[in-house]
Amino acid sequence: MSQSRRDFIKFAVVGSVAAGCPVDATLIAAPDSKAGAGPQVHGEHFEVCHQVRDGHQFERPDVTQKADVVIIGGGVAGLSAAYFLRGKEWLLLEKEDHFGGNAFQEEYDGQPFATGSAYAYRGDEGDHLAKEIGLTLLPVDNPDPTIINKTFVPDTWKAGLDQLPYPKEVRESFRKFRDEMMKIKVREKMAELDTQPLTNFTSGYAPEITQWWDGYGPSNWGATTADTSAFVGISSMQDLASGGDAKRVILPGGLGCITHKLVEVLQPKYKERMLGDATVVAVVQDKDAVRVTYLREGKLITVSAKAVLMCTPKHITSRIVLGLPPDQKTAMRHIRYAPYPVVNLIFDQPVYNRGYDNWCPGNSFTDFIVADWTVRNTPGYKQKNNILSFYTPLREEQRSTLLDEEDCKSLAARVLADFQKLMPEFNVNPVEVRIYRRGHPMFMAVPGHYTKTRIAAAHPMDRIFFGNADSGGPESLTSEAIRLSKVGTEWADLVLAGKPGAKDLAEKALQAVAD
Ligand SMILES: Cc1cc2nc3c(=O)[nH]c(=O)nc-3n(C[C@H](O)[C@H](O)[C@H](O)COP(=O)(O)OP(=O)(O)OC[C@H]3O[C@@H](n4cnc5c(N)ncnc54)[C@H](O)[C@@H]3O)c2cc1C
C-alpha cells in the first residue's frame, strides 16, 4: 500500500504488549471515528510488570483490607469465578482499566466485534454460562471455508477437498492425510501422541497440507505444525472432518460478549469489589491466610484473604506468587505463549459476507471472521458496517516487533494489502483499522503441554488455587477457563469451611480430559 493511501485510513493501535502490564487508559481512548486523519497511535505502559519480571521487590505494606476470597485477574476465568462466588465475600483485582482479558469486545458505531477469543461450542461451559446470564449464542453456519488462489472453497475438510485449487495429486494427498488421521485412536493414544510434533504425521504428504496447518494451528493454539502436539493436531483434524465445527456458537463480539455481560450482571451489586487498574505484585501464603499486595493509583495495598484464586496466566503467576515449590515454578515458566495481535478492518459497505472463519494460507493473517455473522439473518437486522477480524499470530521471536507502533501499523497494512489481493472484489478501503496487540495471550499447545507441563504447573497450594485457561486444554479455551473457575469456587468453599478434600478436588479437575 502506498504511504499516501495508508495515511488516509485511520489506524488505531491498542492493547497490552507484555501481558501482565497495565495499559494507560488515556492512551487507549476510542479514536474519533471517520475523522479521516492520519494514523492514530495508541500505546501502553508496562513499568510495573516489567519491574516484577526483572526481580524488583515491591514493598509489602501491612494488611489494611480483608476478604474471604481474592480473585486475581479479570478475564473470563476471574469474572466467572466472581459470578460463581456470588454471596461470598470476594475481591476481584484486574490490572487493566477494563475486564475481559483475551475475551474482550470492542465496538464501532454501536457494533460489537472481537479483539481476541472468537467462539464457543454448543453445550460447553461457555455456552452454559452465557445462557445462565441471559445470552443465547447462535449457531455458526459455513464455519471453515478456505480462500486460496482466488477460489472460495466451502467446507474445507469434507466436500471442499475436491474443490481445492491445487493439482490433482495435491488434492489426493489432502484426502489421504485426512483419511489416515481419522483412523488414529487419539484418546487411547493421548499420552504417546502428546510427546510428538504434528510434523511426524504431516511429513510425506504434500507441503500444502503443512501450510494449511501452519495457519490453523497458530490461530487456534499458537503453534505451527512443527511446534504442535500431535494429540492436539490430529484431534482437531478429526473434529473438522467429522463436522465438529458445526457445533460452534457465538454472537457479535466473540466470547467478549460473555465477559461484557458478566460485567453488566455483576457490577450493579458488586462494583466496589471489582477493582480495575489494580496490579497484583505479590501473593504470599501464610499458615492461616494469604497476603495479596497490589498497586492502585500509585499506592501499594495489602489485603488478607482466606483463599486466593489465581486467574492470571502462569508466566505472570510464577512471578508474583512467592514460595512456589521449585519444580512447579519451573513448569510454569516452561509454558510458551504466542504473541498475538488481532487486526479489525471496518468497512462502511458490504465487502465480504460469505463464510464465518475464512482460512487463507500463505498470507500475513491466518484467517478472518465476519463479526456479525450469526445475527446477519435475524429478522430486522441490518449490517451498518462490515467488520472483519483478522487473526495474525506471530512467532515467539517476533514478539518484540509489537513494541514498535510503526511495526504494528505495517502489519495491519500488510493484512489489508493481502486481503485486497485475495479476490478482485475485495479491493476496497476500510474506514478504520484497529489493531489490538497482545504479547503473550495464548499458551502454545506444544508437545507435552497438555499431559505434563500444565499439570505440574497447576497443583494447588493450601490456600492458593491456580486457574486460568492455561491450567486446562488441550488448547487455550474459554470453556476450560470457566470449568476450572467453577472447580476453584468449590475448592474455595472447602478451604473456607476448613473441610478436607480441597486438594483432591483440584487435582482431579486437572486430570479430567476435556471432551
Ligand atoms: C486471538 C485469540 C483468539 C482466541 N479464540 C478463542 C476461541 O475462539 N475460543 C476459545 O474458547 N478461546 C479462544 N481463545 C483463548 C481464550 O481467549 C482464552 O482461553 C480465555 O479468554 C482466557 O481467559 P482467562 O481468564 O483464563 O485468561 P486471560 O484472558 O489471560 O485473563 C487474565 C487476566 O489477568 C489480568 N492480569 C494479568 N496480570 C495481572 C496482575 N499482575 N494483576 C491483576 N490482573 C492481572 C489480565 O489483564 C487479564 O485480564 C483465543 C485467544 C486469543 C488470544
Q: Which is the closest atom of ligand 1 to the Cα of 442?
A: 53
Please state, as a whole number, how many other Cβ atoms lie within 10 Å of the Cβ of residue 384. 12
Nearest alpha carbon, ligand 1 atom 20: 478
For position 403, what pLDDT does the model report?
A: 87
CA atoms within 13 A on the CB side of 87: 5
> How far, in Å, are 412, 430, 443 from residue 360 at the CA level?
16, 19, 23
For position 36, what pLDDT does the model report?
A: 38
The dihedrals phi and psi of 256, each to the nearest 5 degrees, come to -60, -20
Residue 14 · residue 341 · CB < 8 Å:
no
> Is the pTM of the predicted complex or chain greater than 0.85?
yes
For position 511, what pLDDT does the model report?
A: 94
289 three-class SS: coil
DSSP character at residue 450: I
Residue 299 · residue 65 · CB < 8 Å:
no
List all residues whose CB is within 6 A of at least one atom of ligand 1.
Answer: 20, 72-78, 93-96, 101-103, 116-120, 255, 279-280, 311-313, 316, 320, 340, 342, 391, 441-442, 468-469, 476-479, 481
Cell triple for 425: 472484489
Question: Could you give the CA distance from residue 402 to residue 343 in angstroms, rounded to a whole number?
Answer: 13
Question: Could you give the CA distance from residue 76 to residue 266 in angstroms, rounded to a whole number?
Answer: 13
> How far, in Å, are 162, 344, 351, 454 from residue 449 at the CA level?
35, 31, 40, 6
Please state, as a whole number, how many other Cβ atoms lie within 10 Å of the Cβ of residue 122. 13
The dihedrals phi and psi of 216, each to the nearest 5 degrees, come to -65, -40
What is the block-wise mean pLDDT of the chain (515 residues), using blocks of 10 residues? 56 56 31 35 49 80 98 98 97 96 95 96 98 98 93 92 95 97 98 98 97 97 98 97 94 98 98 97 96 96 98 96 97 97 96 96 97 96 96 95 89 95 95 92 97 98 98 98 98 98 98 79
Ligand 1 centroid from CA 374, angstroms: 23
For position 513, what pLDDT does the model report?
A: 78
Please state, as a whole number, how many other Cβ atoms lie within 10 Å of the Cβ of residue 323. 11
For position 54, what pLDDT does the model report?
A: 74
Nearest alpha carbon, ligand 1 atom 38: 20
For position 224, what pLDDT does the model report?
A: 98
- Sign of the C-alpha dihedral computed for residues 238, 240, 241 and 246 taken in this order: positive
Q: Where does 227-313 have alpha helices with state H?
A: 230-241, 256-270
437 three-class SS: coil
> How far, in Å, are 210, 211, 329, 332 from residue 324 at the CA level?
39, 40, 6, 10
Question: Could you give the CA distance from residue 189 to residue 250 in angstroms, rounded to a whole number?
Answer: 32
Question: Could you give the CA distance from residue 319 to residue 174 in angstroms, rounded to a whole number?
Answer: 44
Ligand 1 centroid from CA 74, angstroms: 9
223 three-class SS: coil
Q: Where does 85-160 have alpha helices with state H?
A: 125-132
Nearest alpha carbon, ligand 1 atom 37: 20
Please state, as a whole number, how many other Cβ atoms lie within 10 Å of the Cβ of residue 131. 11
For position 396, what pLDDT does the model report?
A: 96
Question: Could you give the CA distance from residue 70 to residue 278 in angstroms, rounded to a whole number?
Answer: 12
Nearest alpha carbon, ligand 1 atom 39: 20
CA atoms within 13 A on the CB side of 136: 5
Ligand 1 centroid from CA 356, angstroms: 22
